[in-house]
Amino acid sequence: MLTQLDSLKTEALAALAAAQDETTLEAVRVNFLGKKGSVTALSQNMRDVPVDQKKEVGAKLNDVRTAITDSIESKKLALQAALDAKAVEGIDITLPGRPGTGNGALHPLTQIRDVAIRTLRRLGFILAEGPEIETEFHCFDALNTPADHPARNEKDTFYLPDGRLLRTHTSSVQIRTMEAAKSLPIRIIAPGAAYRRDEIDATHLSVFNQLEGLYVSNDVSLADLKGTLEAFFREIFGPGTAVRFRPHFFPFTEPSFEIDVKLEAKGKDARWIEIAGCGMVDPAVFEAINKARGDTLFDPETTTGFAFGLGLDRLAMILHSITDIRHLIENDVRFLQQFAA
């Protein structure tokens, strides 16, 4: 019987080795281990085995069963592995991926505006806005720009027939915000479009984009202005960027400064690039606001503030080395694609 078992084992393992699919495996299992299988049949002869051999034959029987079962299992795994391997045969992972709908891109102006906004929000500024069709009061009078100021004429400013105008700067949002404020401090930024009657060329647009900032409280100083704007421009242009403030003149701030950052262009010496205007809010602005509000929330004796404004188009051009501002309004997809994330 031991011999029989050995030969059955050999036979079964050979059959398994030759099997090429699961059906054959199953047939082999049935042939040997099934109810009528040859191993099962042989095991029924156990009762005829002499007592002193029972232990040995029993062990042998188990051994043969286990060997066949294990072999079926491992053969199954091997067959599955072969199938799985076959399933990825010929796949070329180096081919380009399926595009789906493809990705578009945010306009570079949106991107730079978002960087600026995220940076300033971290510094505790919130967003504000105002109309683009403005009154002379909000665009000029309240900003200490008298009626005979050079900017206030039909040569430089778009007017509507009803006397309103297209805001020449986002500074009008300063006025809108202070008019509506319920309390101090005010700490806002206002991105938005502004309009000037400029012929469109490589460096000018009649509609352009600015970012205004205003911080008004009771103890704002020039030191706050300096610290805040230095931090802002270093976030935009990199931590080591040199920033300088040149005295300048704006009707609605005093003192007023223009801000330059030192930037390196490829193959050229680093040079100072004018990037923004800023200053401490002129007390005359607070007086105009109080008059319009009919209260003294902005007490010119104690209230101070700083304001700044920068051109986003210009910022985008500097950051991306864009040589002609008209690219920003033409929306050639070959241009836009270059700014895909």
Partner 1 sequence: MQVSLSWLSTHLDLSSYTVPQLSDLLTFAGVEVEGIEERGVTTDKVVVAQIDSFVQHPNADKLSVCQVNDGSGTARQIVCGAKNFKAGDKVPLALPGAVLPGGFTIKEGKLRDVASLGMMCSGKELGLGDDHSGLLIMAADSPIGTPFNQLNPADVLFDLEITPNRPDLLSHLGLARELSALTGIPLKGQRDYTATKTKTDSSDIKLEAKDACPLYTARLIKGVKVGPSPEWLRRRLESIGLRPINSIVDITNYVMMEMGQSLHCFDLDKLNGSIVVRQATDGEKFLALDSQTYTLQTDDLVIADQKRAVAIAGVMGGEETGVTEVTTNVLLEAAWFTPSNIRRTSRRLGLSSDSSYRFERGIDPQQVQGASELATRLILEIAGGTADDVLLVAGETPVLTSEITLDDDRARKLLGTADLSSDEIRSILTKLGLTLENGRWTVPSYRADLQRPVDLIEEIARVIGLDRVPSKMTAVAVPSDATDRAYDFAMTIRQALVNRGCFEAQTLRLVAEAQLADTLGGGTGVAVKNPLSEDHTTLRPSIIPGLIATAALNIRQGADRLRFFELGRVFLKLPNGGSREEERLAILISGPVSPSSWHARTPQPADINELMGIIQNLPGLSRVSIEPKAVKESPANFLLTSELRAGNRNLGWIAQLHPSRARDISARHPVYVAELLLSALRQGSTGPAKFEELPRFPGMTRDVAMEVPADLPHAKVAAFFATQKEPLFIASEVFDVFTDPTGQKIPSDRKSIAWTLTYRSPEKTLETAEVDAAHQRILAALEKALPATVRR
The whole-angstrom separation of Cα 14 and Cα 91 is: 34
* Cα–Cα distance for residue pair 8/24, rounded to 1 Å: 17
In contact, 127 and 188? CB cutoff 8 Å: yes
Asked if residue 225 lies in contact with residue 280, where contact means CB atoms within 8 angstroms, the answer is: yes
In the range 234-263, which residues lie near partner 1 by CB under 8 A?
A: 244-249, 254-258
Nearest by Cα to 139 from 168, 106, 163, 110: 168
**161 vs 267, beta carbon nearer partner 1:** 161
Between residue 179 and residue 218, which ones bind partner 1 under the rule CB under 8 A? Answer: 185-188, 193, 195, 197-199, 205-207, 215, 217
Q: Which residue has 């401090």 as its token pair? A: 185
Does position 322 interact with partner 1 (CB under 8 A)? The reply is: no
267 binds partner 1 (CB under 8 A): no
CB nearer to partner 1: give 171 or 304: 304
Interface with partner 1: number of residues (CB under 8 A): 86
Work out which of 38, 115, 273, 283 binds partner 1, going by CB under 8 A.
283
Going by the DSSP 8-state scheme, the letter that residue 131 receives in this structure is: -
Q: Is 324 in the site for partner 1 (CB under 8 A)?
A: no
User: Cβ closer to partner 1: 73 or 332?
Assistant: 332
Is residue 213 classed as helix, strand or coil in its secondary structure? strand
When asked if residue 133 is in the footprint of partner 1 (CB under 8 A), the reply is: yes
- From candidates 90, 96, 267, 294, binder to partner 1 by CB under 8 A: 96
C-beta of residue 109 within 8 angstroms of C-beta of residue 312: yes
Backbone angles phi, psi at 13, to 5 degrees: -60, -35
Give the pair of three-digit tokens for residue 6: 């050995």
* Distance of closest approach, residue 151 Cβ to partner 1, in angstroms: 10
Residues 143-162 that bind partner 1 (CB under 8 A): 148, 150, 153-154, 158-162
**Binders in 28-87 for partner 1, by CB under 8 A:** none
